[in-house]
């Protein structure tokens, strides 16, 4: 496997992603964007890229925050994420689109076959990219924030197929937010799926979240494994 840092730009801002591919395979292959949680690109996102590369994809972890701009703890991570999540969704979308353009420009990428995934904050980013009308085959999210101040306003805006994978007991994404998301998907005419993992709370794919669901966030090996398999089946459908 080949892995490396991958610099690209959003206007004057330098962004630093992480890219992985199987260098024993030849030719172009489908690309997958991986959007990070609120701590920025960590081992969690790098592992996801590596796992995607191992099954034949070109995987790029997109950088929303900027090169060298990484939070040092959860309080700072909340501030970083809120800059985009509650402060500037237009900038969030632009950073996501910059990552898409960077992946599409890679010489090994089949630009006609690209999908995006995201975890937590990154799931919100991936959904915003889909809502922007980006030319994607699909978006899969894991325990994402589902709300938006800029919902898809008309049929046909969302071109990507949507697979939202959600912890059924996630206290950070309350039922009204879930219902609003589903209503948005219906009104937009999107091809969408929403799958709830029983017993799972927020951050259930990330081992760094610990094992105490009483905190509202915790790793759940069973839910993580099932969700990943569902995503791979989804990709078999949309990227083959």
Q: How far apart are the first and last CA of the chain?
A: 21
Please report the pLDDT score of residue 154 as a whole number.
82
The domain containing residue 101 runs over which residues? 2-239
Joined together, the tokens standing for residue 117 give 């995934």
Q: What confidence tier does 48 reach under pLDDT thresholds 50, 70, 90?
A: very high
Please report the pLDDT score of residue 42 as a whole number.
97
Q: What is the CA radius of gyration of the chain?
A: 16
Residue 195 zone, left/alpha/beta (φ > 0; ψ -120 to 50; rest): beta
* Domain count of the fold of the chain: 1
Domain CATH for 196:
3.40.50.1820
pLDDT tens digits for range 183-232: 999 999 999 999 999 999 999 999 999 999 999 999 999 999 999 999 99
Contact 41, 137 (CB under 8 A): no
Please give the DSSP secondary-structure letter assigned to residue 202.
Answer: B
Q: How many CA atoms lie within 13 A of 46 on its CB side?
A: 14
CA separation for the pair 197, 238 (Å, rounded): 22
Q: Torsions phi, psi of 17, nearest 5?
A: -95, -170
Neighbours of 159 (CB within 10 A): 15
What's the mean pLDDT in 132-160? 95
């Amino acid at each position: 496997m080949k892995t490396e840092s991958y610099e690209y730009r959003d206007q004057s801002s330098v962004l630093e992603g992480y890219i992985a591919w199987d260098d024993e395979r030849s030719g172009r292959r489908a690309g997958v964007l991986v959007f990070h949680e609120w701590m920025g690109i960590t081992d969690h996102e790098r592992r996801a890229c590596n796992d995607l590369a191992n099954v034949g994809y070109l995987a790029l972890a997109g950088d929303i925050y900027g090169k060298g701009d990484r939070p040092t703890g959860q309080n700072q991570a909340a501030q970083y994420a809120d800059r985009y999540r509650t402060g500037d969704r237009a900038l969030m979308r632009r950073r996501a689109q910059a990552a898409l353009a960077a992946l599409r420009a890679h010489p090994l990428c089949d630009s006609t076959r690209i999908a995006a995934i995201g975890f937590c904050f990154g799931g919100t980013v991936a959904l915003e990219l889909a809502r922007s009308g980006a030319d994607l085959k699909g978006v899969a999210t894991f325990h994402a924030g589902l709300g938006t101040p800029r919902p898809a306003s008309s049929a046909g805006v969302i071109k990507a197929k949507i697979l939202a994978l959600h912890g059924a007991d996630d206290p950070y994404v309350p039922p009204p937010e879930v219902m609003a998301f589903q209503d948005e998907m219906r009104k937009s005419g999107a091809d969408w799926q929403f799958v709830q993992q029983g017993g799972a709370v927020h951050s259930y794919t990330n081992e760094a979240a610990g094992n105490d669901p009483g905190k509202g966030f915790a790793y759940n090996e069973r839910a993580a494994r099932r969700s990943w398999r569902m995503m791979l089946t989804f990709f078999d459908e949309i990227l083959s």
